[in-house]
Amino acid sequence: MRLKIAVFVSGKGSNLSAIIKAIEDGALGASIVCVVSNNPDAYGLTVAREHGLEVFALSHKGLSRQEHEAKIVEHLQGLGVDFVVLAGYMRVLTSHFLNAFKDADGFFRVINIHPALLPSFKGANGYEDAFAYGVKVSGITVHLVDEEVDHGPILAQRAFPRLADDTIETFKQRGLEVEHALYPEVLAAIANHGIHSLLLNSLKTVRT
């Protein structure tokens, strides 16, 4: 199966770059039908344009959350999107948006990556919160989105160590390397075997 995905970004788009590379290298059977951002100045949009991808940038400023989401859903209609892939999208999606991508089995076809081992350290500052807490091991989680923040069925997790001499910058850089490997791998597993294979196999085991 060749996935059709819409990738949502708000900033640099480093996970977008990793996904694009996996597609171009043949490691991920997918096509990016649109890159969406709530930040018209996001560097991720530049990355998308450099690779000839369609972009849809719509600032959320001056719009209610539902108005903003409705315009995005309207744009994506007709593109045959299999999954929405959140790659550093700094907006919480409401049930209004999620219901537009509801699977017949009841889950939402929206995937997120979070920089901590959920259910620990939810929220926008996963790296910082884990580091401040003093964890010896942290990790990355890829999960399906639901109506709760940083919640929903976990598709995969992968751990990485905190080293004794780490700063928050080196800690985050090690985590980003894991993100950039894990996200394309999970998407490739979905493309090759379907989302249900991940859900049924309950890939919640932390891998180091």
Which residues are the active-site residues?
114
What's the rounded Cα separation, in Å, for the pair 124 and 185? 23
Q: Position of tokens 């344009």?
A: 49
> What SS3 class is residue 71?
helix
- Measured from the Cβ of residue 205, the count of other Cβ atoms closer than 10 Å reads 10
- Residue 165 burial by Cβ neighbours in a 10 Å radius (0-12, 13-18, 19+): exposed
What's the rounded Cα separation, in Å, for the pair 42 and 9? 8
Q: Position of tokens 């060749």?
A: 2
What's the rounded Cα separation, in Å, for the pair 48 and 29? 18
What's the rounded Cα separation, in Å, for the pair 23 and 89? 20
- Region for 60 from its dihedrals, namely left if φ exceeds 0, alpha if ψ lies in -120 to 50, beta otherwise: alpha
Q: Are 116 and 139 in contact (CB under 8 A)?
A: yes
C-alpha angle with apex 190: 112 to 113, nearest 5 degrees? 15
